[in-house]
Amino acid sequence: MGTQSISIITQNGKMKELLKLAAKAAASDSPILLVGETGVGKEIFADYIHRMSARSMNSIVKIALSALPTDLMASELFGHEKGAYTSAVNSKPGLFEMANLGTLFLDDIDDVPCEIQGKLLRVLESQELIRIGGTETRPINIRLISSSKVDLKDLVKAEMFRSDLRYRIDVVRIEIPPLRERPEDVEILCNYFIKRYAPNRNVTITEDAKACMENYHWPGNVRELRNVIQRASVFTQNEITINDLPREIRDNNPLEKIISDCTLCFHSRGMQLDHILSCIEYKLILEALRLSRGNQSRAAERLHLSLSTFRDRWKKYKENPADCDEV
């Protein structure tokens, strides 16, 4: 998944539905709000929507609002005239003007301070602006895509975001799931990044390294996965093993945790062997269901069980859960 490509690498069902939604939304000029954790690929979605739209022949202009000091934000967005303030030695168009006839992507709009929100709303409502220090009204024609790390409704309740601005930008909402909720995407993303960072080598990933990465919770999402593969590609010639992964990923082994927990039960609670084995089986079924997002067919495949056998065992534990701590 890279900013240079209009494709989004996924085999997750929810992501595929979101791509269909994005393609439909791209056909209109309605404002789009992308919601998701840092690193899930909001900028990639913005690129995808722009290039699927009728404005694709024109530019998509992007700005990371969280990186801008408040005193520069208005100038960057709306432009300024020469002499508007001490350092304004020349006139400068803002990003709205630069994106005219194209797409403007406002990344991290949840970080926009209240004093800028009102100005932003006026420009979006009127489709025209006046540069700072100027008097000339300039019409603009843009497609707006915004992104947020949090639900803007929560910021509105906390009086940190204007409700009228939220209604203006939150017309089509696309909520991108974090990588931990789509473990089936980990392997294909790994393969994509290997080709990107080791294009001239036939680098593979061992099965235990794959399993370790699929089980990891990826707080940094796709961006974190990309960095892991980029680093591993530097230090390996042919194969990425579990030892090439960062410690926080290597140490995040659910199977080891399950066995460790049940060993503790054996010593501290005096559980008998058949009880411990039932506990392990129960936790493995729960873990397989978690990794498969509740899909019993996929969970059965992960455990190398027939679907009928899996269903029988899961039914047994649903009716009479094993007496052990939750995973």
Instruction: Express each pLDDT in 213-272 by its tens digit.
Output: 988 889 899 999 999 999 999 888 889 999 999 988 887 655 666 665 666 555 555 567
Indicate whether 324 belongs to any domain: no
Contacts of 122 (CB under 8 A, 6+ apart): none
Indicate whether 239 belongs to any domain: yes
Instruction: Express each pLDDT in 57-85 by its tens digit.
Output: 999 999 999 888 888 898 889 988 886 67
Q: For residues 77 and 93, what is the distance between their CA atoms, to the nearest angstrom?
A: 8
Q: For the chain, how many structural domains are there in total?
A: 3
Handedness of CA 157, 160, 164, 165 (dihedral sign): negative
Range 262-268, long-range pairs (CB < 8 A, 24+ positions): 262/324, 265/324, 265/325
Looking at the structure, do residues 79 and 228 belong to the same domain, yes or no?
no
CB 190 within 8 A of CB 228: no
What's the domain range around 231?
Answer: 180-250
CB 140 within 8 A of CB 96: yes
Looking at the structure, do residues 27 and 169 belong to the same domain, yes or no?
yes
DSSP element (H, E) containing 317: helix 307-319
- DSSP characters over 95-110: HHHHTTTSEEEEETGG
CATH number at residue 93: 3.40.50.300
Alpha-carbon distances, residue 19 vs 26, 45, 109, 269, 291 (angstroms):
10, 8, 22, 50, 22
Looking at the structure, do residues 170 and 298 belong to the same domain, yes or no?
no
CATH number at residue 230: 1.10.8.60
Looking at the structure, do residues 263 and 184 belong to the same domain, yes or no?
no
Indicate whether 2 belongs to any domain: no
pLDDT of amino acid 253: 58
Looking at the structure, do residues 56 and 193 belong to the same domain, yes or no?
no
